[in-house]
Amino acid sequence: MTTSPEMVTIGKIDRPFGVHGAVKVRSLSDRPGRFEQLGAVRVAAQGGQTVDRTVRHVRRAGPSYIVEFEGVTTPEAAGMLRGAFLQVPRVVASAPELNAWYECDLLGMTVADETGHELGCLDTIWDLPAHPVLVVKQGDREVLIPAVKEFVRSVDVAQGRMTVRTIEGLVEA
């Protein structure tokens, strides 16, 4: 995913929808009403290309959204956007609450335990019913850490570093 410090990722285009160029978007935002207010977004393809798009229409479709962009009028054009991320300027996104961070700021962060031993890089965040789970990868090894205060001790976005508390059995030696 292509991201910049000025932009916040709010959604991912899953697939084309219908015959008029609309796309189905999975929300990556926890802010209610985020999509209903969209006027313009940056579409960031997985290959690194970005293009600014004007949003023509948005409607809710179950847990997802159907989004129509100016200039995208065919299913083929919409299909070219599959897998791309929707981003908005950080100032539009509004500041997160105290001790809350944007997912896009956390991904790729170095994760270490309280003794300073590096566990790997934060690869993914699973959104599970009880609480999110951090997926930390180092080579072929994967460590799952509950994203709750008891385990996440500190986050330094500027340094790209997270410190977590581990317990016996959580991390293999």
CATH topology for 103-164 is SH3 type barrels. (2.30.30)
Of the chain, the percentage scoring pLDDT greater than 70 comes to: 88
Coil, strand or helix: which one is 141? strand
What's residue 22's pLDDT?
A: 97
Q: What is the pLDDT of residues 66-105, one digit of tens each?
A: 999 999 999 999 999 999 999 988 765 555 555 667 777 7
In this model, does residue 1 exceed pLDDT 80? no
How long a stretch of residues is the chain? 173
Domain ranges of the chain: 7-93, 103-164
The mean pLDDT value of the chain amounts to: 86
Report residue 50 CA to chain centroid gap: 16
What's residue 2's pLDDT?
A: 46
Judged by phi (left if over 0) then psi (alpha if -120 to 50, else beta), residue 95 lies in beta
Q: What sign does the CA torsion over 83, 88, 94, 99 have?
A: positive
What's residue 43's pLDDT?
A: 94
Report, as an integer, the average pLDDT of 129-153.
90
Dist CA 6 CA 89 (whole Å): 6
CATH, domain 7-93, list 3.40.50.2300, 1.10.3210.10, 2.40.30.60, 3.30.530.20: 2.40.30.60
Highest mean pLDDT of the ranges 63-67, 123-127, 139-143: 63-67
